[in-house]
Structure 1
Amino acid sequence: MPQQVKAVVALAKGEPVQLTTINIPDPGPGEAVVKVQACGVCHTDLHYREGGINDEFPFLLGHEAAGVVESVGAGVTGLEPGDFVVLNWRAVCGSCRACDRGEPWYCFATHNATQKMILAEGYLAGTELSPALGIGAFAEKTLVAAGQCTKVDPAARAAAVGLLGCGVMAGLGAAINTGNVRRGSTVAVIGCGGVGAAAIAGAALAGAAKIIAVDIDDKKLETAKKMGATHTVNSSQVDVVQAIRSLTPPPDSTGHEGGADVVIDAVGRPETWKQAFYARDLAGTVVLVGVPTPDMTIPEIPLIDVFGRGGSLKSSWYGDCLPSRDFPMLVDLYQQGRLDLDAFVTEEIGIDSVEAAFDKMHGGDVLRSVVVL
């Protein structure tokens, strides 16, 4: 039977979110209904509310979530009621060009639930909802594609492991998967919010010898140290490129100035990307994981510098993760005490406090507020 549940919805651009009632249909073929236990408040949710993703209002917000499968639709295999899952927004299709060539983390045809959840009250009652990143988990229950459910250790803390659903995985993966950080690497991370802090944790997990955290906020730099940063740079006070170079090996016999092996831009602005470009070592790697806005362009850089410095210029989508591979592994590391996902949970809040959490996000006082249901 279709159900009515409480959920957080953005009705119109820039307006405060509303806690309201929505209708959730029974799962159809390939779908699942999940009882949400916890969901992180991500900056992407705020982007949706502000119309920064698209204008398909009203949005059912929330996407960094963990919960328990309540029911599944026809044809679903490998997933059953009672399974503890982390929700992911990359449900790979298995048949596109990327999947066929063995790179499903680049899947071109990830899928969502076919049916729509619907507003049940207010002046827009009866309107279909657009779930954030195809999930919509600021809700007591949500309808997703079965492929968006990744089973993990049911003993894990939902408020912590649910964050793998977006920001924490993006940062960890930017270091481990995209940046290919190795034992002994020197890594710099520009921007130490939730994604940047996760990139630092990922670099530490991979065995990086030196991890340089860069931000304009000393509070975030202190947090970065707790995540594994060995050095910090306040970019409001010094030249970032020179500071990173001064913390990396000195000029060698060729006169080369040095730099980090991997520089991760977790801000996603032209000026920070340019800093990352010039702060990397010869043949080093730049990873862009911060999401730019559509109007931003690559800064003017002489093409000879692109050629002469070599290396790789990469973007990282969702940490280039494969949820079925990466989520269980990272949850196991968390359970073993080797990856501190609890450190990303600044506070636990109720479902009626999402708007207040957005305000705290602006102040830079939290890595993650997590809605616990």
Structure 2
Amino acid sequence: MERKEFIRKFAIVTLMPSLFVAACTDGNKKQKKSAGKTKTYTCPMHPQIVQDKPGTCPICGMDLVPFEKNAAEAALNLNESQRALANITTMAVGLNGFNAFKQLNGRLVVNPEGTEYISSRVAGRLERLYVRQTGEQISKGQPLYKIYSEQLVTLQEEYLLAMVQSAQFPNDQTFVQLLKSSKQKLSLYGQSESQIRQLGTSKKTDPYITYTSPGNGMVAELSVTEGQYVSEGSPIMRLEGYQSLWVEADMYPSEVGSIKDGQSLKVVIPGWEDQPQMMTVRFINPELNSGSQVIQLRGSIPNPNHQWQPGLQANVFVPSGSKGDVMSLPVDAVIRDGKGTHVWIEKSKGKFEPQMVKIGMESFDAVEIKEGLKTGDQVVITGAYLLYSEYILKKGKNPMAGMKM
């Protein structure tokens, strides 16, 4: 028994160092394996924020997202479904002509040529207003107001008396001339031909006269109230027509030399980019606006169906130069950030890589590429910003990090 006990204790003492070493080795392997699975987190908007645990970005407060810390490949790989979902399209770049434009900030304003100022033709009391609010659309011939005027009654009596005398003495040119003169007075005081004809038929004076609209427009201002006494020439209302609108744009004094009176410029209304209009410059203000130190130019554009209202923003594009045999891309294909300017190139099917470029002249829809691309490169023209965001989410860094032109 003593011999067996001795052998058992001796075996335990002999094997214990081996078991300890094995346990330490397994523990190190598990620790390394666990360390290898540790995730790294970054901010989608600020890739410089990197930490080894979930949290929020200290700059913008967004939730941090995991990314592969060791993902050093510069390319993004997308399958067909991902490409269709992101609306990724490409084009082969080449050389062509390029026209550059400067954009001027403008606005639509009322064209005074379509404005009607309606004033009282005679002195009297406004018995009834048929239009009681601004913003109401008025058609030509529509009743606007009814007025009581003793002055009109006197003129009507003169006309009826002249009619009687002219009928009694048809060969006397004096009475004929008096009839024409009294009729003309009624016309000058705003009586229509039908109203004068009705007066001659009824042979009765009427102190209540209704005045109608001389044209089409919208009521922009109402200056009187019902029951008010007005004098001859007192303002009643203002009608504005929107068949055409003025475009007023601001430019700096250094830009005046590039624009001439009578020049045609392209105008785009935000929200109606598919309906550009051509404007002819009609006026360039010879003096600076005291508050902003800019010069104002003006032109007019048609306004079919009154689809645009005064006050809308308008972008005016002025030609600033042209070149031949220039490599250009749509504006949306070029990504600009603090690191520089870059585009995305499809190197092979479904494999996209960023490429830094140097840009030159720009227009409202295209930009000149001076360096960074060669003829035939397949450049992403739609969905480039989605690739940019996806790269930051997956790689945790800016696509331009480490790149130099």
Q: TM-score, normalised by structure 1?
A: 0.18
Decide which structure has greater strand share. 2
Larger Rg: 2
Q: TM-score, normalised by structure 2?
A: 0.17
Structure scoring higher RCO (CA < 8 A, sep ≥ 6) equals 2
